Amino acid sequence: MVVGLLGLQGAFLDHRHHVARLGHSHRVVRDLEDLAAVDRLIIPGGESTVMAMYLKAYGLVEPLKERIAAGMPVWGICAGAILLAESVDNGPGILKSLGVTVRRNAYGRQDASDVHAVDVSVLDRPAFPALFIRAPRITACGPGVSVLATHDQAPVFVRQGTVMATTFHPELTDDAVFHDYFLGF
Ligand code: GLN
């Protein structure tokens, strides 16, 4: 299986060792040829406004929406979750592929970023050290969205079919449990 890492900006390289450890190869996705060559895609954390700008500039928005609608598994992390969201309180929705509303930078500035123990019992991790970095807050979920973990009374790990999002950064821990889960879709 070839796991795509959207490589326009942000923390895409931090996923490589998790993917390799689980026995798969990766390809950094920057254009349509790359996108056609991958079986699934991780949209990393970073800066959603910058990634949105590049997605548009490289003509990737519609092809990506089409692949996701056709069932390609995709996991958005933090900024990636913002890009996937159906709507964004304080900005434009881009891919509109996940039935959630998010509010960018809802927990404050960079210095308010922190690690919190989140109950991810669904993955057998009752106290996962979830690293939130200028995270968005999921403020509403549509009917098809399963909430798999919450923090501070908001969903932080959600899934709708083959589309998954975390508002924190599992790739910055040594634990590949989220990658393992996503690669099992
Ligand atoms: N605050 C960033 C944004 O709005 C997201 C931060 C992150 O991905 N860690 O895009």
Confidence band of 124 (pLDDT split at 50, 70, 90)? very high
Reply yes or no on whether the pLDDT at 111 is more than 70.
Answer: no
Q: Does residue 103 have its Cβ closer than 6 Å to ligand 1? A: no
Q: Which CATH architecture has domain 2-184?
A: 3-Layer(aba) Sandwich (3.40)
How far, in Å, from the CA of 90 to the mean position of ligand 1? 13
Report the length, in residues, of the chain: 185
The residues annotated as belonging to the active site are: 78, 169, 171
Please name the residue whose Cα sits nearest to atom 5 of ligand 1: 79
pLDDT of residue 107: 82
Q: Can you tell me whether residue 183 is helix, strand or coil?
A: helix
List, as residue ranges, the binding site for L-glutamine: 46-48, 104, 133-134
Q: State pLDDT tens for residues 138-154.
A: 999 999 999 999 999 99
Q: How far is the CA of 132 from the centre of ligand 1 (A)?
A: 9
Q: What is the mean pLDDT of residues 164-184?
A: 98
CB of 89 within 6 A of ligand 1: the answer is: no
Residue 90 pLDDT grade (very low, low, confident, very high; cuts 50, 70, 90): confident
The pTM for the full model equals 0.97
Where are the strands (E) in 32-77, listed by range? 40-43, 74-77
User: 105 CB under 6 A from ligand 1?
Assistant: yes
Rounded distance from Cα 185 to ligand 1 centre (Å)? 25
Q: What is the ipTM of this complex?
A: 0.96
Whether ligand 1 lies within 6 angstroms of the CB of 165 is answered as no
The whole-angstrom separation of Cα 12 and Cα 18 is 11
pLDDT band (50, 70, 90) for residue 110: low
pLDDT at 112 over 80: no
Does the C-beta of 45 come closer than 6 Å to ligand 1? yes
Q: Give the pLDDT score at 53.
A: 97
Q: Residue 155: beta bridge partners?
A: 150
Long-range CB contacts (within 8 A, 24+) of 143-148: 143/99, 144/99, 145/98, 145/99, 145/100, 148/120, 148/122, 148/123
Which residue type occupies 3? V
Locus of tokens 């821990």: 173
% of residues, the chain, pLDDT over 90: 93
How far away, in angstroms, is 80 Cα from ligand 1 center? Answer: 8
The pLDDT of residue 15 is: 98
Reported confidence tier of residue 20, pLDDT bands at 50, 70, 90: very high
Q: Is the pLDDT of residue 130 over 80?
A: yes
Return the residue whose CA atom lies nearest to atom 2 of ligand 1. 47
Nearest-angstrom CA–CA distance, 72 and 118: 28
Per residue in 23-82, pLDDT (tens digit) is 999 999 999 999 999 999 999 999 999 999 999 999 999 999 999 999 999 999 999 999
Domain borders along the chain are 2-184
CA 62 to chain centre: 18
